[in-house]
Structure 1
């Protein structure tokens, strides 16, 4: 199989790479190529302006300014990098130690960091440069010490998130010493943002070091760097500006290089810039609307670019929901269920590319709307209940604020009216209105999930997308959540798209079920047929894997053999073929379409299981 084509790097990545390479080449080669010209005085060419022989003129000893600027690359960069490494090392160790020391020591270290941050870093560097003595060594130490508080505070903040993790608690239980906790469990988990901070700090250190040399506190004659060259050319800036501008431009170029490099690395780490985004053509209008549908989706596909190639986690999905209908979307993890819902709600990341033949919500074609119109239509006609309400709710805002935002923004309700509606929404989900004054961390998992449902009720949506709303909840709370959604459907005729990997829960709660595998719908059937009427081998295997109280406890529970396919290694045939016990040669050659078995049952399989066969 051919290797996936890698996406080209972004223009900013190429620019930063070229600029960084040029600095490295100059740092190595400039002293060898221009070192002699930079140090050779010429009494007959003293203080000359720009010429063909000397593009940036000469200094007071007749030495070529351009050669000196190029040769000064190494003595300008190395001390700045050394100061950054020393400052980052000291600051990171100081800040990260707060995650492994005791409470008293943690408070003392945190207070020390806060105290050090009260002093401006540049003033501290200038003061320490005088204390340590003028020279490159003193300037490096001064900048390193001045940079410690900033890195310490960043490391302290990042380490605080690691301090409460289960893996660190488990390591403490094992009796690991503090230095092992620091090196093995804390630093590896905060290394990436610290590396990005160090990259941008290198540019700041370069500017600060040049400033100290300009003031006579850094590199001392006969050695020189860009800051000292800038000082030497300042006296003649009005007569011949180029000798003064040349080292200044060099400082600007190097500082900009580090800033661009940090920005590129940050985008890479965040996954926001794997490749330049090609402008997409405006989507074509959707197909004809079908009467009486809340949601109409036909041939929906999602493409995501990755460093190893483009993947299609959703392929040709079609679904429709009528008022008051509950449709279940079920499948293994990675089958594309959540991405399908996010595509419908227009919540996919910017780099994702969505194609469809039809996408209508309440009969309105989302493709023909402006972004502002689409956002308003989705905000008022659709509500999403996310899998993890702890992260979906803003921890810094009260529940009242989060419930009333949508109605105040889209319906112009007053604060008093919005709070009254929020109290009523909480009553409808069996929560007391007193919780409006609470914050998310003060609620249990089941209460937070009910608050998410209440937030959706505030805009009176026609469609609710419940993405794994009962995951990580005990069975009692699961039953409460499903009963609440059922009451919502009965009272308001709201359509519900219920996403889950629990096929038993879906079968008992939904009206219809769509089974997804590898990004495609492989079977669509009424929920009452799940027990003994499934026809696709994958659906049969999912149903058979549901624990049964009558099963033989001496035998292991049945599972779906094999693993889902690699999204990058696409094959022409049926995606389930490597795991299917009924596979034949034709299955590996061509993917089966989703065909009708009867008016309400569709299956994508060349050789579906007979209806009367029950897999034990």
Structure 2
């Protein structure tokens, strides 16, 4: 809360609330005084913003309208909260069919344009303040409902919720006592930020003539009345426009700052104490309903060979998604395409959107700060001739324009954040002086030199012993949760993916053949996913039996058949499987899937 953005948001919000209380009391009389001798005057010493068509002072009306604008925004936010949170929480306690129905309704509403939804709801409720409140309140429901559903799904799958259900707790008790209290903090922070969006939305409806009607007025109504004079008396529009902007920005900054403050954890852990790692992959964070990464029909070709073909998926803020498959299935190449790092002569088709913007529109400087890559071999990712701290500092000087002193201080801070002991001293060491686990942590710290929205980790625990693997993976999960960055974890280890990721994408021969929650891996529907799970032994595996294997081999990229690529190795293959290629539908690309 000591950051400039947090302080600015707090000041703007306090100023808005103070004006909402004292505005009508101090300027209400002047704002309502009709003066036919000073109609539509420009700015003057007596009227800094001019007057309206009734000779009333526009500055006084702008200040007095604060209460009405804030009050309507608060009512709209209450409508959003009262409808969005219960709607989003319902799927976590309903049966499978009802949950799918509610989830489908939420997804359908999210796909509807927000402004059109607001206008439609406002027209049904009737023009005026009531209609505007209903319109903006209803328009914001889908986003809050989707956020609530994502957060609630994670809590609903927890062991303590399962224990409560086993003890006979009803759906209402599970929802009120176990689900909602554990997601209350991010929801409260989101509601705070939504106040700013409600202010802007209400002003927009009033500007379009669908909001507050005369003789009442708010900032949007004042904009509606003064907009025809914008080229003659631009200062008449400046008052309400700046008021809407300042208040909206204030609530947005305060909400985002509170979210960052709530998510931040201490960098150092006292000796003898353990650090609690938050449950990974908990889904989108407050105020960010859109996916950070969206891949649409991605293909990577080298001449006439296409090792990655038609891959589509998305990763939401704060979500950790696993990408699994045999060697040669296209996992690492997909990660390189996401980072814009496909080597020559490879060509990439399809679309990769980072934060809603196509990858090709981002400058290298933007990409370097918004995307972090963690590669398999940290020794290959670190220059052995340069000190670790210098390599981290280079990221800040090149991509952030920081001075050498600021960049070094930031590098030491990031090394401390990934729990490298004595970061000041270790920053002056060379990579060969680090252990394997410390090198991997240093690579993660390098990715955190900016403020990454997406972290792509390609086999980050290769060649590390199991205890170091655990620490590195816990660190990645913690970074994913505390920074709110989306994460894509590429791994061969299904146990790792099921433990740390919320969703799993299974690749085979360059395509995604199944997408499912990690908790459902043992109930996968695609025969290839089931074969992968079966070939991963655990402590319950019968050691008297041969290890399960998948017969045959994965086809080379140039040898992929026209039908299902897994058909030659699949015991469930039909004639149709060899002739027609199945598309990904309901999370599985198979003509004859297993019964979940």
* TM-score, structure 2 normalization: 0.52
Deviations 1:454-513 (A, max 9, x none): xxxxxxxxxxxxxxxxxxx89x99xxxxxxxxxxxxxxxxxxxxxxxxxxxxxxxxxxxx
1:28 is the counterpart of 2:21: yes
2:241 is matched with 248
1:69 is the counterpart of 2:62: yes
For residue 208 of structure 1, the aligned residue among 194, 201, 212 is: 201
Task: Give the superposition deviation at 1:183.
Answer: 0.9
1:151 is matched with 144
1:399 is the counterpart of 2:492: yes
2:470 is matched with 387
Q: Matches of 2:39 and 2:419 in 1, distance apart?
A: 58
Q: Matches of 1:18 and 1:111 in 2, distance apart?
A: 41
1:179 is the counterpart of 2:160: no
Q: Matches of 2:167 and 2:461 in 1, distance apart?
A: 52
Q: Matches of 1:172 and 1:234 in 2, distance apart?
A: 58
Q: Matches of 2:19 and 2:133 in 1, distance apart?
A: 21
Larger-gyration structure (1/2): 1
Q: Matches of 1:100 and 1:364 in 2, distance apart?
A: 48
What secondary structure, in the 3-state scheme, does the structure 1 residue paired with 2:41 have? coil
Task: Give the superposition deviation at 1:397.
Answer: 3.8
Q: Matches of 2:536 and 2:270 in 1, distance apart?
A: 30
2:373 is matched with none
Unmatched 5+ stretches in structure 2: 277-387, 390-411, 448-459, 478-486, 497-508, 510-527, 544-596
Task: Give the superposition deviation at 1:99.
Answer: 0.9
Structure 1 contact 113–152 (Cα < 8 Å) conserved: yes
Task: Give the superposition deviation at 1:443.
Answer: 7.7
Q: Matches of 2:211 and 2:445 in 1, distance apart?
A: 58
1:110 is the counterpart of 2:103: yes
Q: Matches of 2:242 and 2:64 in 1, distance apart?
A: 14
For residue 82 of structure 1, the aligned residue among 75, 85, 88 is: 75
1:362 is the counterpart of 2:362: no
Deviations 1:79-120 (A, max 9, x none): 112111211221110111111111121112112222222322
Task: Give the superposition deviation at 1:121.
Answer: 2.1
Q: 1:380 to 1:164 in 2, by over 3 A?
A: closer
Deviations 1:363-411 (A, max 9, x none): 58999xxx999969xx9999473327876698864529999xxxxxxxx
Deviations 1:408-436 (A, max 9, x none): xxxxxxxx9xxxxxxxxxxxxxxxxxxxx
Matched length:
354
Q: Matches of 2:238 and 2:431 in 1, distance apart?
A: 61
Q: Matches of 1:440 and 1:28 in 2, distance apart?
A: 66
1:349 is the counterpart of 2:349: no
Task: Give the superposition deviation at 1:335.
Answer: 10
Q: 1:88 to 1:46 in 2, by over 3 A?
A: same
Q: Matches of 1:19 and 1:444 in 2, distance apart?
A: 59
2:368 is matched with none
1:43 is matched with 36
Q: 1:219 to 1:57 in 2, by over 3 A?
A: same
1:268 is matched with 261
Q: 1:129 to 1:10 in 2, by over 3 A?
A: same
Task: Give the superposition deviation at 1:362.
Answer: 3.3
1:10 is matched with 3
1:313 is matched with 270
Q: Matches of 1:259 and 1:440 in 2, distance apart?
A: 48
**Mapping for residues 402-421 of structure 1, pairs under 5 Å:** none
Q: Matches of 1:150 and 1:395 in 2, distance apart?
A: 23
Task: Give the superposition deviation at 1:30.
Answer: 0.5
What secondary structure, in the 3-state scheme, does the structure 1 residue paired with 2:132 have? helix
Q: 1:205 to 1:347 in 2, by over 3 A?
A: same
Deviates more, 1:215-224 or 1:11-20: 11-20
What secondary structure, in the 3-state scheme, does the structure 1 residue paired with 2:140 have? helix
Unmatched 5+ stretches in structure 1: 1-7, 273-303, 306-310, 315-331, 337-342, 404-415, 417-436, 448-472, 478-616
Deviations 1:545-598 (A, max 9, x none): xxxxxxxxxxxxxxxxxxxxxxxxxxxxxxxxxxxxxxxxxxxxxxxxxxxxxx
What secondary structure, in the 3-state scheme, does the structure 2 residue paired with 1:386 have? helix
Deviations 1:264-300 (A, max 9, x none): 111101117xxxxxxxxxxxxxxxxxxxxxxxxxxxx
* RMSD over equivalenced CA pairs, Å: 4.5
What secondary structure, in the 3-state scheme, does the structure 1 residue paired with 2:98 have? helix
